[in-house]
């Protein structure tokens, strides 16, 4: 068996964290308070993709967001999977690409994404 090499995509993970915070109605200040940080800079670095949460902070974040750590992190395989699905299922008639997202059961669903 060949080894699998994957890496965490920081920028995409930051976008996912930002979306999950919005989805759950949390602000950066809420996360700062829950984590016990003196200032919000660490959280801003996460959502901008400049850094990733440490393992212990990722565990806390997953509990706050009611998501698994795997649902929060974007790894190379996810990006490749999205790329393959998007390139295969483009609607050529209307030139509107489709995006895929995982629901809470870790199943992929297709959603139409506006291109303009």
Q: Which tens digit of pLDDT belongs to each residue from 1-46? A: 777 677 889 999 999 999 999 999 999 999 999 999 999 999 999 9
Q: Could you tell me which residues are beta bridge partners of residue 96? A: 91
**pLDDT given at position 95:** 41
Residue range 10-72 forms a domain whose CATH class is mainly alpha
pLDDT, one tens digit per residue, over 59-99 is 999 999 999 999 999 987 655 555 555 555 444 433 434 44
Say what the pLDDT of residue 45 is.
97
State residue 6's pLDDT score.
Answer: 77
CATH 1.10.260.40 domain position(s) in the chain: 10-72
The alpha-helical segments, DSSP class H, found in the chain are 10-23, 28-35, 41-48, 55-65, 69-72, 76-88
Backbone angles phi, psi at 103, to 5 degrees: -90, -175
Q: What 3-state DSSP class applies to 75?
A: strand
* pTM for the predicted model, two decimal places: 0.64
HSE value, Cβ hemisphere, 13 Å, CA-based, for 45? 9
CB 110 within 8 A of CB 102: no
| Backbone dihedral angles phi then psi of residue 49, each to the nearest 5 degrees | 85, 10
């Amino acid at each position: 068996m060949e080894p699998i090499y994957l890496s965490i995509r920081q920028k995409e993970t930051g976008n996912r964290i930002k979306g999950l915070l919005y989805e759950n109605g949390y602000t950066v200040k809420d996360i700062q308070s829950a984590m016990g940080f003196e200032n919000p800079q660490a959280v801003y670095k996460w959502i901008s993709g400049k850094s990733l949460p440490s393992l212990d902070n990722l565990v806390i974040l997953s509990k706050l967001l009611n998501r698994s750590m795997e649902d929060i992190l974007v790894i190379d395989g996810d990006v490749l999977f999205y790329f393959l699905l998007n390139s295969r299922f483009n609607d050529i008639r209307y030139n509107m690409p489709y995006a895929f997202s995982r629901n809470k059961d870790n199943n992929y669903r297709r959603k139409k994404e506006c291109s303009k």
